[in-house]
């Protein structure tokens, strides 16, 4: 059993393991395999050059950083070690709609109806 701590306590972390939802408000004790799985879901910062990652959840027994987070980063990709400049993220507030459902996708509706 491992102790999992939510570093961003302004809102609970919601993760899924094996179809079951786990809501972590501040701290919870979970089996090892669930704790590691939920930690991997809580990645907030990824550096592709060095492979270093920052996580929202911390496992206390592993010696993870448990300092509280005051805010979550807006961009999850850490570009500090890259040669090109940072990209400024401008939210567009445009939401894509759901595509129309056209049957099961196995047959076209025109091929099922035959005229005699």
Number of neighbours of residue 96 by Cβ within 10 angstroms = 5
What the block records as the tokens of 84 is: 């090109």
Q: Where are the beta strands (DSSP E) in 1-116?
A: 2-6, 13-17, 20-24, 27-30, 43-46, 53-55, 57-59
Quick check: 42 and 69 in contact, CB under 8 A?
A: no
Q: What is the mean pLDDT of residues 89-116?
A: 63
Task: Give per-residue pLDDT as tens, 29-76.
Answer: 999 999 999 998 888 888 777 778 888 899 999 888 888 888 877 666
Number of domains present in the structure of the chain: 1
Checking if the pLDDT of 8 tops 70, the result is yes
Instruction: Identify any residues that bridge with 109 across adjacent strands, giving them in sequence order.
Output: none
The verdict on residue 99 lying in a domain is no
Q: Is residue 44 part of a domain?
A: yes
Per-residue confidence (pLDDT) for residue 89, from 0 to 100: 67
Q: What sign results for the dihedral spanned by CA atoms 85, 90, 92, 97?
A: positive
pLDDT tens-place string over residues 73-87: 766 666 666 655 556
111 located within any domain? no
Tally Cβ neighbours within 10 Å of residue 55.
17
The domain in which residue 74 lies consists of 1-91
pLDDT of residue 108: 53
Which pLDDT does position 80 carry in this prediction?
62
Is residue 56 in a domain?
yes
What pLDDT sits at residue 66? 87
Tell me, yes or no, whether 109 lies in a domain: no
Within-domain flag for 10: yes
């Amino acid at each position: 059993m491992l102790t999992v701590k939510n570093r961003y306590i302004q809102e609970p972390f919601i993760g899924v393991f094996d179809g079951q939802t786990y809501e972590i408000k501040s701290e919870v004790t979970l089996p090892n395999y669930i704790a590691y799985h939920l930690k991997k879901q809580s990645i907030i910062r990824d550096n592709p050059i060095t492979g270093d990652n920052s996580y929202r959840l911390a496992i206390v027994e592993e010696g993870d950083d448990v300092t509280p987070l005051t805010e979550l980063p807006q961009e999850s990709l850490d570009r500090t070690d890259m040669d090109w400049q940072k990209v400024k993220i401008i939210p567009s507030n445009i939401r894509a709609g759901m595509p129309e459902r056209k049957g099961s996708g196995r047959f076209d509706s025109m091929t099922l109806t035959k005229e005699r």
